[in-house]
Amino acid sequence: MIDVREITIEQAQDGIKTGRFSAKELAEAFLDRIATWDKNGPRINSTMALSTTALQEAAALDSYLEETGKFKGKLHGIPVLVKDQADTKGMVTTYGSAVAKNNVPDEDAFVVARLKEEGAVVLGKTALAEWASVWFSVNSANNDEFTKNPYNLDHDSGASSGGSAAAVAANFTILAVGEDTGGSIRVPSSFCNIVGLRPTPGLISRTGFCPLIKVQDTPGPMARTVTDCALMLDCMVGFDPKDDFTGVAATAAALGLPKGGSYGAFLADGRQKIKGAKIGVIKQSFGSESDPYCNAVNEVISAAIDKLKSAGTTFVSIDFDEFEYHINYPLTYLQRSRSDINSFLATKPHLPQDIADILPETSDKPYLKFTCAMAHGPKDPKEDPTYVDRILRRDELKRRIDCLIASLGLDVLTLPDVRVPPPRFEDAMSGRFIKDGCEDFPTNTFLASVIRHPAISVPAGFTKDGLPVGIEFVGLEYQEQSLLELAYGVECIVQARALPPGLM
């Protein structure tokens, strides 16, 4: 039996190339691990539909290698799981809703097709939040069963890409596709001790993804290492005429990005780059020291920063008045998500055509309060009198952040992804994150989302009771390569990735 724990792209492809195992045997090993730990035993519940053709596809890759003497593509034989927000040909794809339990797309999302073209073996789909809009990884298509955090089975895996994060962390796959609108790659990456990148929206096509806020939505790579994250990004980016936002990808290509032809071309330079970096720390992004949950995160982030300081990194403390207001007010979920989701439903005539007909106006589940309100927002976002002002404030915030980074000569901004560790499942029902009748989840990820900048989460360490904490870097547009290099430096110095102790 192949030991797939913590195996990387390079190690897997070396094993295939040298004949120690085949692509089919590698896929079998991961599917066996899913059967043992995800569907049985502790039942992490990170996966939903599993492919019935993955082994056949892997065997075809083995035949290709034998016949041609070369790999089909950059991800030849590499197992991938796909967030159930993306259409995947021949597999039930639910978008996190019971209404789509029988929805089987007849073509792949653009990103899924790209990964397959590069030789990836899609093992199946990962669990997500209801309509990708809840901070807990639970949905009605999965019978309201939470995805467990591999580091503590009583805690949640986080946000809407929680299934992808838990699966990567627990070694059910080498790579996973996530999607990030307000933090849905970075929050679960932080909670599950993995690397997750939110690229500049439009660098990766959203064709075939159910949207949430089209101007903020972006798929992205999730992996255990920065190197694997970078190599996966190489295979996801690109212009797609069906998604006009991917003019961003065309612009990046015209600018000669990524340098060296790969986002991983200069990762090794990150060891020195992080030592000479100047990084802004937003003071208001840290929770109160008097709150034991926030204090636990603050201790981990501070310890990681101290390690980097000792290596030579310069940190600049930044005061950002009314930080929460500035990153929350420009959000437009309640104004435009209904319209954006409905535009996608219009391409699925066998499904209801209005999300307001799917979700009630109110729910007895506190974690669905915001989603229900979103589903019953205006059919046209311009009907909301605050919509234009929110957009203007969004653009103002972007200019402010751009000028802040430039005027201080910063490489990036940094902050905890979330001010608290992974919550318990009961917190979803207790109303812990409801304040004055409104959702109040203590995330910092909205900053990059609102201004539509790239950001990366990399493991920073563990709280005293063993819960993972991630540190986030926010860069300027098109700065993915630099973010990955800095994250690689953090990975080398902080060395916070660890296999979940109960899943050895």
Angle made by CA atoms 334, 336, 341, in degrees to the nearest 5: 110
| Phi, psi (degrees; rounded to nearest 5) at 424 | -80, 160
Kindly calculate the radius of gyration of the chain based on its CA atoms and give it in whole angstroms. Answer: 21
Contact 122, 175 (CB under 8 A): no
Comparing CA positions, the residue from 205, 200, 201 lying closest to residue 241 is: 205
d(CA 195, CA 346): 34
Q: Assign 219 to helix, strand or coil.
A: strand
Among residues 22, 160, 285, 482, which one is catalytic?
Answer: 160
d(CA 104, CA 254): 37
d(CA 494, CA 307): 7
Among residues 24, 74, 83, 369, which one is catalytic?
Answer: 83
Active site residue 184: yes
CA 319 to chain centre: 28
Active site residue 160: yes
Instruction: Classify burial at 262, counting beta carbons within 10 Å of its beta carbon; exposed 0-12, middle 13-18, buried 19 or more.
Output: middle
d(CA 359, CA 97): 9
- Here the tokens at position 441 are 């989840």
Active site residue 74: no
Among residues 97, 140, 184, 339, which one is catalytic?
Answer: 184
Q: What is the 3-state secondary structure (H, E, C) of 386-417?
A: CHHHHHHHHHHHHHHHHHHHHHCCCCEEEEEC
Residue with token string 């034991």: 292
Kindly list the catalytic residues: 83, 160, 184
